[in-house]
Structure 1
Amino acid sequence: MITSPAWKGRKYAVLGLARSGRATVNALLAAGADVTAWDEREETRVAFAGRVTLADPVETDLTGFDGVVVSPGVPLNRHPIKPHADKYGVPVIGDIELFAQARGGLPPHKVVGITGTNGKSTTTALTHHILKTAGVPTTMGGNIGLPILEQQPLPEGGVYVLELSSYQIDLTYSLDCDVAVLLNITPDHLDRYDGDFAAYAASKSRLFAMQSEEHAAVQENIHGHPDDPTDVWGPWNRNDQERDARPLGSQRNWPALQGPHNGQNAFAAIEVAFQLDLPEEAVAKALRTFPGLPHRMERVGERGGVLYVNDSKATNTAAAAPALAAFDKIHWIVGGQAKEPGLGECEQHMGHVTAAYTIGEAGEDFAEALTPHCAVSRCGTLDKAVELASQVARAGETVLLSPACASFDQFRDFEDRGETFRILVNSLDRDLTA
């Protein structure tokens, strides 16, 4: 695990003992810190009995504490922990801030931080894949994979690739990324910012504000020939350099990176590779061999010539729109807990949709919005939607789960929704071939 000698003898409170909270407690204890910890679930607290002081930080005198470490899931705009900690002058931080504090004791390394509303998981995983292909020691963490403090320190020359949500950035104050990437910003999670989109955007932009001037800042700004996005490419970066990505090949030869949005994700990762001076041959190979991410335009199989695609990670309309743009003759499974009214950015791609199958809390609202554009079936549940779509779709068409909604009305999370879709597809009465 990653620890810091600077934590020895210091006092920390940890609120929330899920994955990142558990890793935080273990790292702090291993470093010799005095830890008070709490989780609202009693069965979770029991696992820490005897190792920490079990007490709710909101009801604790925080005099002498060096920090309150909270899960990114704690809404700072509504939870009482922030005003309570402020009364004692104690900072409220996250595990990414602890990682930033620990960097001075790690072997010489670099950090790539990637944020944005949509595309950051793919860009993070692709950047990690490029580094591995180039033979660079690397790991990824933050909002993807294992908690960063749970991972082993990289050897000298390693690169940590961090996917960072706005929540994680809100809890971070000293992360100086060697390369920071800001992808798109579209309205999302505005409940955490009291409905203020400007505040949400400012949170994302803080990743740049924490950087040293000499470090690389990359922001999505891509232009190119519509038939080949690699024709001309010039993302904004601090040195205002323009790159020619043509030697890396065409996007059409990158199987897991199809669609305009994945072109943008790929170009951001390519710019990171340029900033890290990685060889072009390794970058080109990585783009061709990147396997993609589960639940993001994941091709789960083919039945009777019909392609089935799991895009469960599309939890808002801006995230679903790229999948609609990437396929033709789509049977679209859509719905769940809506984050915004209407079709949003999906509306411009309705010419690709043959039929829609609505599910979840927002099913009726989507059905009404979609009726002027295509045939609509009000299915209510995912199993009914998959069954009906499988009966209607014909060879050469695509059944696409891209819900444009959160999943919590019917599923544990978007992964659970995507896994359920995969199981349903694989249980159809004909054999599937991936």
Structure 2
Amino acid sequence: MISKNAFSNKSYSVLGLARSGAAAAEALLESGAKVTVWDRQDVARARFEGRCDIADPLEMDLTGFDGLVVSPGVPLNTHPITQHAAKFGVPIIGDIELFALARPNLPPHRVVGVTGTNGKSTTVALIHHILTMAGLPSLLGGNIGEPIMAQTPLEPNDVGEGVYVLELSSYQIDLTLSLDPEAAALTNITPDHLDRYDGFAAYAASKERLFEMQSAHNLAVFGTLDEPAGAIHERQKARREEGRVIAADLEALKALQPQWPSLQGPHNLENAAVAVAIVEELGVTPAQWQHALPRFRSLPHRMELVCEERGVVFINDSKATNTASTAPALAAYPPSADIRSGAPRVHWIVGGLAKEDGLGECEAMLSNVAAAYTIGEAGPRFGELLTGRVPQVHNCELACEAVRRAREAAEPGDVILFSPACASFDQFRDYENRGDHFRKLVGVIAEEGDCEPAACANTDEDYIKGDIA
């Protein structure tokens, strides 16, 4: 647990005792801080009974508190805690800021921070994978894996210092004041989570704060220079030392990408280029990352190869909760001259709880779609949008019906792509539950003898689950 007496004799209130909040409270207690916790759920508060004060910070005089730790899920733009804390001059922070404050007390180490609308989970997992294969101590944290404050501090080894690789959502950055990563990256910025911000510009500004917290001599990597990322890139170049702001070199890696079975598509080329730039900054050689990239396995629910059946590939991309996230998945499987003279080959299962009206960036990728199978609340609307635009549209409502129809229609060389382009909450608890359901449906096919079990890519124990969708 990351604490190391960094918070001794300080006072903190913790609001929200889910995964990251509970881990923060435990670390603060171990560090010798005076802690007050609160959660609306009795069961969440129960584990802290008798160990610290339990009180709702909204009903407290916060004078003298060093910080109010809240979950990234708390909407600061609407929650009354924002104004209440401001009355007492108490900073609202998250567990990433606690980690930043604890850094001086940790063994020698470096930190990588990656943000962006899409691709950040794959990028941090890839960085961690390459570092581990190169022998460097590394762990994942932030919006992926175990909460950072619950993890065991890294110790240097014969190869080098430990590296904390953090996936950072805009919500987490909003709660962070002093993190200074040795290397930081922005994958891309497209509209998302706008219910939490006063427009797209404010959302982009939240992402930019990661780089504003960095020292001028530390490295900033950009996966794209499309706006508004390009403007952030230029502003950072103006305030940094020469060569400390770079754009990922996609062209240098393009010829190698066919060797990476779990990193197909233009978006994964971008993710890999960002990862390579960062690991080279940390001392990894080209020979080391070239050895590691082909051995990387997709994250669960993100372009995850579930199974191959009679030449048909099943892909679980349940984490694609908006059209901007689904578009790269559609782009990853273009028509091939070697497969039915270049006919489209994607059987796209799409729908759920729509975040937007329209096809967004998916519209440019429809030439790759052989058939669409619509599900969920947004299914009828997707049916309207896609009819006449792709060869076939099947209104299925349920995922089980969509998988059945797609399996019957797909031919060798085709791809059954479960990339809903929508939130999951109309039919499922979260995108993970939705992706698990798809995997189970594909598993039923395997049990029927039509798919060899050995072809299934992942098992439950391989899963790395994040805190925020």
TM-score computed with the length of structure 1 as normaliser: 0.93
Matched, 1:279 2:254: no
Q: Partners of 2:377 and 2:49 in 1: how far apart?
A: 40
Superposition map of 1:286-301 within 5 A: 286-301=292-307
Q: Partners of 1:202 and 1:341 in 2: how far apart?
A: 25
Superposition map of 1:392-411 within 5 A: 392-411=409-428
Q: Partners of 1:167 and 1:263 in 2: how far apart?
A: 26
Is the 1:2–1:27 contact (alpha carbons within 8 Å) kept by the matching residues of 2?
A: yes
Is the 2:347–2:415 contact (alpha carbons within 8 Å) kept by the matching residues of 1?
A: yes
Select between 118-127 and 38-47 the one with higher mean Cα deviation.
38-47
Per the alignment, residue 42 of structure 1 pairs with 42
Matched, 1:388 2:405: yes
Per the alignment, residue 341 of structure 2 pairs with none
Q: CA deviation at 1:431?
A: 3.2
Structure 1 residues 244, 64: closer, same or farther in 2, change over 3 A?
A: closer
Per the alignment, residue 349 of structure 1 pairs with 365
Paired amino acid for 1:119: G
Q: CA deviation at 1:386?
A: 1.2
Q: Partners of 1:108 and 1:44 in 2: how far apart?
A: 34
Q: CA deviation at 1:423?
A: 0.3
Structure 1 residues 242, 165: closer, same or farther in 2, change over 3 A?
A: closer
Is the 1:361–1:409 contact (alpha carbons within 8 Å) kept by the matching residues of 2?
A: yes
Q: CA deviation at 1:377?
A: 1.4
Structure 1 residues 249, 356: closer, same or farther in 2, change over 3 A?
A: closer
Deviations for 1:134-178, whole angstroms, at most 9, x for unmatched residues? 111111100000111111111131111000000000000000010
Is the 2:221–2:245 contact (alpha carbons within 8 Å) kept by the matching residues of 1?
A: no
Is the 2:352–2:424 contact (alpha carbons within 8 Å) kept by the matching residues of 1?
A: yes
Q: CA deviation at 1:392?
A: 2.1
Q: Partners of 1:185 and 1:377 in 2: how far apart?
A: 32
Per the alignment, in what secondary structure is the counterpart of residue 261 of structure 1? helix
Q: Partners of 1:191 and 1:241 in 2: how far apart?
A: 30
Q: CA deviation at 1:249?
A: 6.2
Per the alignment, in what secondary structure is the counterpart of residue 6 of structure 1? coil
Matched, 1:161 2:165: yes
Q: CA deviation at 1:277?
A: 2.2
Paired amino acid for 1:310: N
Paired amino acid for 1:395: P
Select between 238-247 and 264-273 the one with higher mean Cα deviation.
238-247
Per the alignment, residue 449 of structure 2 pairs with 430
Structure 1 residues 244, 70: closer, same or farther in 2, change over 3 A?
A: closer
Per the alignment, residue 79 of structure 1 pairs with 79
Per the alignment, in what secondary structure is the counterpart of residue 127 of structure 2? helix
Paired amino acid for 2:352: G
Consecutive unaligned residues in structure 1, runs of 5 or more: 224-235
Q: Partners of 1:242 and 1:80 in 2: how far apart?
A: 41
Structure 1 residues 245, 387: closer, same or farther in 2, change over 3 A?
A: closer
Paired amino acid for 1:21: G
Per the alignment, in what secondary structure is the counterpart of residue 123 of structure 1? helix
Superposition map of 1:356-395 within 5 A: 356-374=372-390, 375-395=392-412
Q: Partners of 2:125 and 2:288 in 1: how far apart?
A: 15
Is the 2:249–2:273 contact (alpha carbons within 8 Å) kept by the matching residues of 1?
A: no
Give the counterpart of 1:192 among 176, 196, 211: 196
Q: Partners of 1:241 and 1:359 in 2: how far apart?
A: 38
Is the 1:140–1:161 contact (alpha carbons within 8 Å) kept by the matching residues of 2?
A: yes
Q: Partners of 1:20 and 1:36 in 2: how far apart?
A: 15
Structure 1 residues 239, 387: closer, same or farther in 2, change over 3 A?
A: closer
Is the 2:141–2:167 contact (alpha carbons within 8 Å) kept by the matching residues of 1?
A: yes
Paired amino acid for 1:318: A
Q: Partners of 1:217 and 1:288 in 2: how far apart?
A: 25
Select between 75-84 and 360-369 the one with higher mean Cα deviation.
360-369
Structure 1 residues 378, 179: closer, same or farther in 2, change over 3 A?
A: same
Q: CA deviation at 1:245?
A: 7.5
Deviations for 1:104-125, whole angstroms, at most 9, x for unmatched residues? 0011111000000000000000
Is the 1:69–1:92 contact (alpha carbons within 8 Å) kept by the matching residues of 2?
A: yes
Superposition map of 1:196-345 within 5 A: 196-221=199-224, 238-240=244-246, 246=252, 250-328=256-334, 329-345=345-361
Per the alignment, residue 465 of structure 2 pairs with none
Paired amino acid for 1:370: L
RMSD: 1.8
Paired amino acid for 1:85: A
Is the 1:248–1:280 contact (alpha carbons within 8 Å) kept by the matching residues of 2?
A: no
Deviations for 1:316-339, whole angstroms, at most 9, x for unmatched residues? 101101110112411111111111
Per the alignment, residue 21 of structure 1 pairs with 21
Structure 1 residues 202, 312: closer, same or farther in 2, change over 3 A?
A: same
Q: Partners of 1:276 and 1:256 in 2: how far apart?
A: 23
Paired amino acid for 1:164: L
Q: Partners of 1:315 and 1:333 in 2: how far apart?
A: 13
Q: CA deviation at 1:222?
A: 7.6
Q: CA deviation at 1:42?
A: 1.9
Per the alignment, residue 123 of structure 1 pairs with 123
Paired amino acid for 2:419: S
Per the alignment, in what secondary structure is the counterpart of residue 135 of structure 1? coil
